[in-house]
Structure 1
Amino acid sequence: MNIVTIIVNYRTADLTIDCLRSLEPIANENPGFSVELIDGGSADDSPEQLSQAIEKHHWQSWVHFTQLSDNKGFAGSNNVGIQAALDRSNRPDAIWLLNPDTIVRTGALNSLVETLHADASIGLVGSRLEHRDGEVQISTFRYPTILSELVDSVRCGVISRLFAAYEVSSDPPAQACAVPWVAGASLIIKTEVFDEIGLLDDGYFMYFEEVDFCHRAESAGYSCWYQPESRVVHLVGQSSGVTGQSATLRRRPAYWFDSRRRYFLSKHGVFKTAVADAVWLCGRVTWNVRAVLQRKPAEDPPRLWRDFLSHSIFVRGTG
């Protein structure tokens, strides 16, 4: 098959080079495989490191490198690569979005392709993401709703059990199956899906863009699948710093809240977004009071409640 992989680097040249190295066997065995490598305005020595690595390892035949002058975010930078792939005279059959902080296991792409073409209705397939030691990561999810905001904010066992079916994160299935949406760290998409619904929404600087895309694809009649036989190591949060083990030590960036608000407004409307914001804020107050009374350790990023309020629909409106 003709597959184009999109990788966006942002100040993680070493990780990106490791990712490309893991793709080299695929490129050597598949003439139709190539990579659109985008540097998203890193403003460091990443472009030089990447260019040197491509030349040193003789990857020029399958890696096309583009350097952007500014940071367009995850969606915007990926769209540069996606559009370049779609504009080729020999258009790809599918486009594989791959994070720079990943290492592809043997057979990962084959499993994705086989699943993608198992049925005409399947438009997207995500990989099993795992740590270096093979421990599985959560990468299958339900769509965010008002009730999912309640579960997330209150952190109460009774509430979690009562509304377990609405929790956004879910345990990755043992077998390949359809799911609402998957993490965008390793996600293959039929080219026809882009023809039908367009590119990623670059109104999302980072986060929620894959949720939005999977939702739009579902509305167009395409299903999203999870394939656990496609194994990809994901060094969680290395490219963003928002997720991962050190995430709670950092203040959550404004673009996360803006992306969340954009998603809720686009999928649920103004009234339900207001309800969702109110539910989260009230729920987190309840959790904070419990945490103080029960002397629970701090688990949230600094200023989370205040930052959420300042970016909520009550303060920012629908803009």
Structure 2
Amino acid sequence: MLDVAVIIVNYRTAQLTIDSVAALLADPSMPQGSHIVVIDGASGDGSAEVIGKAINGNGWSDRVTLAPQDVNGGFAYGNNRGIEVVDADLGGAKSYLLLNPDTVVRSGAVLALADFLDQNPNVGIVGSRLEDPDGTLQACSFRFPTALGELESEARVGPVSLLLRHWRVVLPVSDRPSQADWVSGASMMIRRDVLEEVGQLDEGYFLYYEELDFCRRAVDLGWQCWTVPASRVVHLCGRATGLPSKGPKVNRRPSYWFQSRRRYFNKYHKGFGALASDLGWLTGQGIWHLRCWLERKPNGDAPRLVGDFLANRGLRAN
């Protein structure tokens, strides 16, 4: 059995995936009993061929497996197929690291996660400290969202954030490991026992909210979720999805983001709770728009965000 199986799901990001694999293999602290599985989600742009040539040309074939798929089923689908490849073809693993293709691990990042799981048997999921290339911290540790948390996250006004600080979704990350409700799926390691108890990631989510859903199911069964800042991972945020969260150009949010959000709140909050979360989100947006109007500045959000939110609100979770 492998110590660590790293799963990277590629969709039309061949060079990012190759760079991510190269960083993993260049890390001298990578656990000896580790293997990387790259899932190509029917990219249709030659990605599988490019990645395959890189694996063979760099002599990586003993440490990297490429598994092209016939369909692009999304993040949960791709990672589930990767876990199945590990279990069926590689004898399984003690832990599974789900890693975005737009990440570059810093030295010791994978080992820090694996060691934390080894030393803490009650912890089932661990996440990395995500950062920009210059070391600037990104959001990576979170509370489960609530209606008040949705309001705070969208309002972005100091007095509101102070009042609702106990419901704020984004948690601070210090230099010490800290417990969270859930961690970012950009670099998330899962103990084998958790997968056996919780089951696969929910493939009803195409992209976004699937790691939140999985962590919630694990926590509901008594497992703990922690962020380990010694595991530092550069996350080129939005490069894999085409949805950068900051910068001069923010793209319109795709319908599957709204569908995933709707699925999550329908699944865990139901009825009035799901409605309250929507009202909290819309109220927060209203406060934010008012602030931007008063300050005479653009709001910086994705184009047509509120209109798209309302248009997609009627979508029902499967």
Which residues of 2 match residues 1-319 of structure 1 at below 5 A? 2-26=3-27, 30-88=31-89, 90-246=91-247, 249-312=250-313, 315-317=314-316
Structure 1: distance between partners of 2:245 and 2:292: 22
Deviations 1:102-144 (A, max 9, x none): 1111111111111011121110111111121222222111111
TM-score, reference length from structure 1:
0.94
Contact 2:29/2:111 (CA < 8 Å) preserved in 1? no
Secondary structure in 1 aligned to 2:310? helix
CA distance in 2 between partners of 1:183 and 1:299 (Å)? 23
Distance 1:207 1:311 in 2: 15
Q: Is there any run of 5+ residues in structure 2 with no aligned partner, and where?
A: none
* TM-score, normalised by the number of residues in structure 2: 0.94
Which residue identity lines up with residue 122 of structure 2 in the other structure?
S
SS in 2 for 1:93: strand
Cα offset, 1:157, TM superposition: 2.0
Deviation sequence 1:138-169 (CA, Å, 0-9, x none)? 21111110101111233332211100121111
The question of whether the paired residues in 1 share the 8 Å contact of 2:4 and 2:31 is answered with no
Aligned AA (2:41): G
Quick check: 207-216 or 152-161, which moved more? 152-161
- % identical equivalent positions: 42
Deviation at 1:247, TM superposition (A): 8.2
Compute the displacement of 1:89 (Å).
6.2
Aligned 8 A contact 2:244 2:251 in 1: no
Gap regions ≥5 residues in structure 1: none
Counterpart AA for 2:44: A
CA distance in 1, matches of 2:217, 2:30: 34
**SS, match of residue 225 in structure 1:** strand
Q: Distance in 2 between matches of 1:177 and 1:42?
A: 37
C-alpha separation between the residues in 2 aligned to 1:149 and 1:70? Answer: 33
Q: What number of residue pairs does the alignment pair up?
A: 317
Deviation at 1:308, TM superposition (A): 0.6
Do the aligned residues in 2 keep the contact of 1:241 with 1:247 (CA within 8 Å)? no
Secondary structure, aligned partner of 2:9: strand
Whichever residue aligns with residue 316 of structure 1, its letter is: L
Quick one: distance in 1 between partners of 2:148 and 2:22?
43
Aligned-residue Cα RMSD (Å) equals 1.8
CA gap 1:318/1:255 in 2 versus in 1, 3 angstroms: closer
User: What whole-Å deviation, never above 9, does each CA across 1:190-220 have from its counterpart, x for those lacking one?
Assistant: 1111100101111110011111111111111
> Structure 1 137/235 Cα, relative in aligned 2: closer, same or farther at 3 Å?
same
- Partners of 2:287 and 2:100 in 1: CA distance: 36
CA contact (8 A) 1:27 1:33 kept: no
